[in-house]
Amino acid sequence: MQIDYGREVTVNEIVIKARVASGDTHFTSCVAEFSDGTKVVLNLTNSAVNQYFDVGSIKTTYVKLTNFEVADSSKAVAITELQTLGVENLK
């Protein structure tokens, strides 16, 4: 899962909303990778509310979520929303 910004931005926070439904499992973690080479491990919980992750102040042209770990690989799992919060870098 990747968001391409088309320009350099500064990302300060990542927000993830997981799907929580009867019979589903959940992601326990994933890694956020940025174009500058930074990698941040995000530890996820089994919750239907938005989960906020402070990533500092990373200048990047994209953010990619990789290396998803699940609590139970035999059940369905999904993320319903991914947001990044920050500012556009003006030249």
Over residues 64-88, mean pLDDT: 91
- DSSP-derived letter for residue 36 is T
Higher confidence at residue 89 or residue 60?
60
* The token pair that represents 76 in the structure block: 């369905």
pLDDT at 91 over 80: no
pTM for the predicted model, two decimal places: 0.89
Q: Name the burial class of residue 68, with classes exposed (0-12), middle (13-18) and buried (19+) by CB atoms within 10 angstroms of its CB.
A: middle
What region, left, alpha or beta, does residue 67 occupy, with left being phi > 0 and alpha being psi -120 to 50 degrees? left
User: Are the C-beta atoms of residues 18 and 78 closer than 8 Å to each other?
Assistant: yes
Alpha helices in 6-85 (DSSP H): none
Average pLDDT in the chain: 92
